[in-house]
A = this chain, B = another copy of it.
Amino acid sequence: MKDAEMQIPTYDDMLAAHERIKPYIRRTPIRTSDYLNELTGAQLFFKCENFQEPGAFKVRGASNAVFGLSEEQAKLGVATHSSGNHASCLSYAAMRRGIPCNVVMPRTAPQAKKDTVARYGGRITECDPSTSSREATFAKVQAETGGDFVHPYNDPRVIAGQGTCAKEMIEQTDGLDIVVAPIGGGGMISGTCLTLSTLAPETQVIAAEPEQADDAYRSFKTGHIIADDAPKTIADGLLVPLKDLTWHFVSNHVTEIFTASEQEIIDAMKLTWKHLRIVMEPSCAVPLAVILKNPEIFAGRRVGVVVTGGNVDLDKLPWMQK
């Protein structure tokens, strides 16, 4: 999609997205734990997007983009650059529609991620691990294939798709006081704001971010987008900066952004594995880390937590690498 930057998606776009993608996504369950409720003093509802077939909420936005294409455009397929869950999820959605998907990935991306993209039929073009190489390679791939560019988060179709998750959370609970989700580029947070500002305007949206990649936090506090160059955190799904579309939602609808240290993230991750008994990425542990850290905000409240993804390297768990 070209020139889409400030096409702000609407609540009706989100509703249309939900109808469109329903056959291709799972209505993931909510998990609860009496133990974690006691520990935090809150009532926590964990929405298990790690249980999507390709293992991440990003299948929602990707499916909305893929299944919304005209027949004509669909023949040319889609294209993106990503080394993470968006690449797998866009490949998965394209496979479900039976159309081409071209992905530009840095040659340094983990082999497991490349394997997943390939398993779903995504065609990988490798680039050097730099912005200039990625952009040049992507421009070439797109010119050659004519694939529709589906940005990982700064795309109204993607944000509308991610917003379907918050709709399900409200339907599956008896209402929530707060929804907490991790923030990287801001796709999930933006979709959550889009949905809740109409469906449940009294529900606060709180974003959770690693201290070591706190560009969204600093953007929020200063009032303009701050983009860091190559931050380092174990929460590797949260490295990218806000863009204009997601900044629109963050600056207008987010109540607060809280941060957590690397150790707090690891501790929260282990706690979730142990008591919810689900496999999830470090990025998804940031919300529980900030809930534990800020009891004055969360205790006594009904809190929805988005468990964004479950693609981890089981041979390299963070609490075993000290």
Contact = CB atoms under 8 A, between A and B. Distances in A.
Contacts of A279: 273-274, 277-279
Contacts of A34: 53
Interface string A249-280: 00000000000000000000010011011111
Contact of A278 (B35, B53, B277, B317): B277
Contacts of A319: 314-315
Most chain-B Cβ atoms within 10 A of its Cβ — which of A35, A55, A274? A274
Contacts of A280: 277
A33 interface: yes
Given A319-B314, A320-B315, A277 B53 contact: no
B317 A277 contact: no
A273 B51 CA distance: 11
A278 B48 CA distance: 11
A310 interface: yes
A29 interface: yes
Nearest to A272: B279
Contacts of A75: none
A218 interface: no
Contacts of A278: 277-279
Contacts of A310: 277
Interface in A67-88: none
A134 B6 CA distance: 71
A53 B36 CA distance: 11
A33 B53 contact: yes
A190 interface: no
Contacts of A107: none
A140 B6 CA distance: 76
Contact of A31 (B51, B315, B317): B51
A204 interface: no
A308 B16 CA distance: 39
A154 interface: no
7 contacts: A50-B277, A273-B279, A277-B280, A314-B319, A315-B320, A317-B317, A320-B320
